[in-house]
Structure formats: structure tokens, C-alpha cells
Amino acid sequence: MTPTQALPPQVTVVRHPLVQHKLTLMRQKDASTGEFRRLAREISLLMAYELTRDLPLEQTTIETPLETMQAPLLAGKKLCIVSILRAGDGIAEGMLDLVPSARVGHIGLYRDPATLKPVEYYLKLPEDIGERLVIVVDPMLATGHSAAVAIERLKRAGATQLRFACLLAAPEGVGVLTAAHPDVPVFTCSVDRELDSHAYIRPGLGDAGDRLYGTK
């Protein structure tokens, strides 16, 4: 896919004005580590509203200070947020501000220098992941290979309800992920122009992990 082509139907760009405003602030090269981290957390919370707008509800009986009533509560098991290490933690933390009861899983991947393919080095998930809506988070969807491998691994672990969320995506990454997992909705704040020769998203915001944790 190219920037001029229509996005696949399972891709949602979150265009809320506050999200777009905060993303612009994050993109600026002079944003401090603390500011970048705070903005990532705030955007992630706002994205979580979009990701969870169709969660099922059930009616329950409660007592208000005045009377008994039927009122809605979330039905069944709650969410599981799975962070692709390390930068995914910067997104997971913001979502947990909105859904603090969510379970959290982690998957660690590195790129093999010979094959350039993602290799799993860490996996820790809730035992009941198959009963939960799983939101996989990573700030950047660049080549799409790590995200596709992570989702495939989660499916093998029993996950059946999956969504992927990122701050920025490249057209190349969107194409790879949606081709590999056409059943998984993708949420992003922007689909940027392209990848460069080093697989950085352009215009992008730099290395999200380094900017989140001040390691560069």
C-alpha cells in the first residue's frame, strides 16, 4: 500500500483534536523526555476510549442514595493489555489509567542480525487470555514484522479477540500487519508518509523508546 491508497477497513485513525494536538507536541525534536512521556501517556488514555467503545455491558441491581435501580456494568472478563517491549510500556501505562483493573502481558522481541526476522526472548501472559479482549500496544508500526509476529504468538497462546494500537504507522507496516492478520483491528493516530532506509517512520517522531526513557 502507498500513502495515496485507501486504508484497509480494519484500520482506524484516531482524529480527535486533543489526540492530534498532543501528537504534534510529541513530534517536536526539542520535547523533553518528561514531556514526551507525559504526552504518550495522555494520548494512550484518549486512544483507550476509542478502543473500548464497544465493550459489552450487562445490567445489575444497585442502591443509589435514593432508591434501587438497574444500571450497566462491563460484562464478563475485563481487558488484557499486551506491551511489546520495551516501548510498548509507555502506551500501556496510559491505558491503565483508564482501565486500572486490566491484566497486563509482555512480549519481548529482537531482530536477528542475520535473518532480520523478529525473535521472541520473553513472554508473560495471563492464563485466561483467551477469555479477554487483548489490546497489543507499541508506539510505532514501522515495518510491521514485530507486530505481526507478536499477534501470531498471542493467537497461539489462545487469544481470540485482538486489537493493535500505536501512535504512528507507516504505510508499509499497515500493509504487512493487515495482510498477516486481517481479523485484527488497527488503531493509530497517524499514518505517516513512508519508511526511510533505516526503517524509521518519516516524518515520524524519532525512536519512541529512546525518547520515552531518555536513552539517547
What is the CATH number for 207?
3.40.50.2020
Domain count, the chain: 1
Range of the domain at 34: 11-213
Place of cell 489526540: 19
Cβ within 8 Å of residue 95, ≥6 positions away: 44, 45, 47, 48, 51, 81, 102, 135, 137, 165
User: Considering the domain boundaries, does residue 100 fall inside one?
Assistant: yes
Catalytic residue, from 128, 183, 196, 210: name it: 210
Q: What angle do CA 108, 198, 26 make, to 5 degrees?
A: 70
> Could you tell me if residue 3 is inside a domain?
no
Residue 65 lies in a domain: yes
Residue 201 labelled as part of a binding site? yes
Q: Does the pLDDT at position 183 exceed 80?
A: yes
76 annotated to bind ligand? no
Domain membership of residue 78 (yes or no) is yes
Q: Cis ω on the peptide bond leading into residue 53 (within 30° of 0)?
A: no
How does pLDDT run across 26-74, given as a tens digit for each residue?
999 999 999 999 999 999 999 999 999 999 999 999 999 999 999 999 9
The Cα 38–Cα 42 span in angstroms is 6
The pLDDT tens digits of the residues spanning 111-158 come to: 777 776 788 999 999 999 999 999 999 999 999 999 999 999 999 999
The active-site residue, picked from 4, 61, 68, 115, is: 115
* Residue ranges of E strands in the chain: 11-13, 57-63, 68-74, 80-84, 103-111, 118-124, 133-137, 140-141, 161-169, 186-191, 194-195, 201-202
In a domain, 6, yes or no: no
- Is position 207 annotated in a ligand binding site? yes
- Give me the helices (H) in 99-194, please: 145-156, 171-180
Q: Is 111 a catalytic residue?
A: yes
Asked whether residue 1 is assigned to any structural domain, the reply reads no
State the chain's mean pLDDT as an integer: 93
186, part of any domain = yes
Residue 129 in grid coordinates: 487470555
> Is 84 assigned to a binding site?
no
Give catalytic status of residue 210 as yes or no: yes
Is residue 54 a known part of a binding site?
no
Q: Are 166 and 141 in contact (CB under 8 A)?
A: yes
- Asked, for residue 4, whether it belongs to a domain, the answer is no
Is 207 among the catalytic positions? Answer: yes
